[in-house]
Structure formats: structure tokens, C-alpha cells
Structure 1
């Protein structure tokens, strides 16, 4: 299950849609896929608040499906260190990029037999959310 390169461990999409437009659609895309938005971190603003200039917009959305989370946490509480799923949205070379770690890769780091189906389902859902945002 382990990928060979960092790029193999990610699900990435890009679009010419404006950054703000993509970010504005995250909550609805999550709801449409039975996921909830737990938190939002504007990394550019957080860095600026700490006196660090960072000139590229980057927002990280924390999303979760509580039933899926319960399933994997029941198998191994250490998986809490990988929850919730994070969806990073940033700009690169004139495009808006969406990126997230593959749940199948992340859960492969834990001793949690039986969570493969949950991880695959979450991965499919994260892909659907991202695809909806770039469509």
C-alpha cells in the first residue's frame, strides 16, 4: 500500500478557478458528500500575524465524517494523530491547487487491521469533494 514518492501519497487537482471561489465551495462540497467542515486555517494570515511574510495564499480545511472517524479510531486510537482529513488549497503557477494525503497511505502507517475499506471509502470521498471543487 505504501507509495514510492511523495506525489504518490497525495491526491492533487488543479483548476483555473480563482482561489477564493474554490475555497468558498468547500463546505458545500463536503456536505454533498456527507462530510463536515471542522476547521479552517488561513496559513498566509497566521504567518502574517506572527510577523512572517508569506506571499502565497494557502488555506487548510479540516474535514471529517464522524462515522468513518469512529470506525478507524475503534481499530486504533493512535489514528487520532492523523484526523481529521486536511485539504490544502493554494496557488501555484497561476492555478489553484487542491491537495490532500491519501487516507489509504496515512492509515497504512498504523497497526489497524480491518480499516482498509474505511480508508478506501474516505479516499474516494475526498477525491469526489476535490473533483467537485475543480469542475
Structure 2
């Protein structure tokens, strides 16, 4: 089983980030966190890295359902979505597969929520570009 859904788009990096954020909003997600990996690696260890952004996305309704079923599920939230430069003309957008993440937890109700989130995240990725 793969642990992510990905799509490569022909957009400038910043446009891909904006398109991803908008697609997340259309499907009920907000961006709670944003980690600029390129900037962090440069500041912390002086490494030169390609543009790479981690968006911590959350669908409040789905998060609430998951928390009601499993109070420690917050260790696996929010859902990470990455936007990374592949080459001068290509940007890849990837989202975690929540079903793969939740396989370690024996809770059938949580599996149903993860499947719903998976469907939404697949739609987000399909909408970009």
C-alpha cells in the first residue's frame, strides 16, 4: 500500500501552493501549519534544498469525529500535504493517505473516518493544476 497520493503540475511553485490551499478549502480543509523545509534547512544546517513546503491540513468535522473515536489520534493529525519543486517547470503535490496512517490502530470506526478523509484528499489532489 502506498502512503501518499501525488500529482505533478506545470505551475510555478507559489502558484502550486496557492492552488493547493484553495483546493483544500473547497473540500473542507484549513491549513493549520506551514513548514518551509528549504528555509528551515538553510537556517539550521546551511543546506541548500529545493522549494519544499509542508502544509498541515485539517478538516475540522473529520478531525472531531476521529478524536471522539480515539483520543490519542491527535498524534497523527493534521494531514500533511507537501508541495515540492521537481525541476524548473514541474511541481509535485502529495497528500498523506490517512488509511495507510491509521492501519496501526485497531478501531473500525476510525477506519471509516480515514476512508472519508482519503476520498476528500484524493479530490484535492485531482483538483490541482
Give the TM-score of the pair, scaled to structure 2: 0.90
Question: Helix, strand or coil for the counterpart of 1:114?
Answer: helix
Which range moves more in the overlay, 90-99 or 103-112? 90-99
User: Which of the numbers 116, 121, 125 marks the counterpart of 1:130?
Assistant: 125
Measure the CA separation in 1 of the matches of 2:121 and 2:18.
17
1:1-135 → structure 2 map (5 Å cutoff): 3=1, 8-94=2-88, 95-134=90-129
Paired residue secondary structure (1:20): helix
Give 1:29 shift. Answer: 1.5
Runs of 4+ residues deviating >2 angstroms: none
Q: Distance in 1 between matches of 2:128 and 2:63?
A: 23
| 1:54 to partner: Cα distance | 2.4
Q: Cα offset for 1:100? A: 2.0
